Amino acid sequence: MIVRTKEMNSKSNATLLRNSKNPRAPLLIYTSLALVFFVAALWAARVSVAQKQAVADDFYPAWADHAQYLQPLRVVDTDSALGRRNLHPKNITLKEMARMHGHLCDGLVTSWVQLNVALRLLFPDGVVDRTDLRIVSRNCPCCVDAGAWMTGARINQGTLMLDNSVGVGFIVQRISTGAAVRVSQRPGFYPAPLAELEQSIRTRCAQGESASSTAIDRFEDGADEYSRKLLNTPPDQAVIVERLADYHFPDHSQNPIATRSDTINRDAPRTMPQPAVTQQR
Ligand SMILES: [Zn+2]
């Protein structure tokens, strides 16, 4: 046992007094505080970035990331507004297209798969020249976005023709060679009950009635299930391909205009309340 004497306490107090008068002590305190604030700010920034990433990527489900037959598409464009053709190709992905389009949907996935089949046939070297294409698409919000983005075809340049008679599919033509292919959906691949449900929702909306939240939920679940199946199926089992000899691209002045159809339920109530910050599925 140590017994502190008066003399020891006196020496100890003197030492404390000397330390408190150390001219470097305030600097050490300020440096320590600055370090603590820096670490706290760094942590807060990392949490904020992680939250933003979770919110920003919520539109794209994890099952699409791991789909068996999903690959990037290699494309070339031009270097600038007056530029030459790119020297090196770039990759574009379904996820980037979903971000551009606004959501991942069955129409977008179907278009991605069908156009991939057509483009890989027209460009056997695997690099798609988006300066050398024109297409025919039916007028639906998802397939027209996909067609324009994946091929470089545009309504305003007369290279994207809208024709509802092509059905669920596209006609794609390589301008420089004239080679053309038609791609369409293999009958029976899209579930008939899902098509009926979609039609019933559209009919109700067209009649000015609101669709039920459960019906919208059931359609979204079914559409996701279909998209997942499509991305995990060999494309030749889901897509019919037909080469078109001497194909003449139609008159682009006949483009039929239609109102946007993928926003008709934007104000419908949700079945379940959504969390403020959602995590990636
Ligand atoms: Zn869509």
Mean pLDDT of 188-202: 96
Ligand 1 centroid from CA 131, angstroms: 25
pLDDT at 267: 85
Ligand 1 centroid from CA 107, angstroms: 6
Structure token digits, residue 134 = 């024109």
Ligand 1 centroid from CA 105, angstroms: 5
Range name among 67-76, 149-158, 189-198, 264-273 with the lowest pLDDT average: 264-273
pLDDT tier at 200, thresholds 50, 70, 90: very high
Ligand 1 centroid from CA 102, angstroms: 7
Ligand 1 centroid from CA 88, angstroms: 30
The pLDDT tens digits of the residues spanning 157-189 come to 999 999 999 999 999 999 999 999 999 999 999
The H or E element that residue 127 is part of is strand 127-129
pLDDT at 280 over 60: no
Alpha helices by DSSP H, the chain = 6-20, 25-56, 62-65, 94-101, 106-122, 141-151, 192-206, 213-231
Ligand 1 centroid from CA 140, angstroms: 9
Ligand 1 centroid from CA 106, angstroms: 7
Ligand 1 centroid from CA 173, angstroms: 24
Ligand 1 centroid from CA 39, angstroms: 43
The pLDDT tens digits of the residues spanning 30-55 come to 777 777 777 777 777 676 665 655 56
Ligand 1 centroid from CA 262, angstroms: 7
Antiparallel, parallel or unpaired: β 169-174 and 127-129: unpaired
pLDDT at 17: 45
Helices then strands, counting H and E runs in the chain, come out as 8, 8
Ligand 1 centroid from CA 95, angstroms: 13
Measure CA of the first residue to CA of the last residue in the chain; give whole Å.
63
Ligand 1 centroid from CA 90, angstroms: 24
The H or E element that residue 174 is part of is strand 169-174
Ligand 1 centroid from CA 227, angstroms: 12
Ligand 1 centroid from CA 263, angstroms: 10
SS3 (DSSP) at 237: helix
pLDDT at 16: 47
Amino acid making up residue 264: I
Ligand 1 centroid from CA 100, angstroms: 10
**What percent of the chain lies above the pLDDT cut of 70?**
84
pLDDT at 252: 73
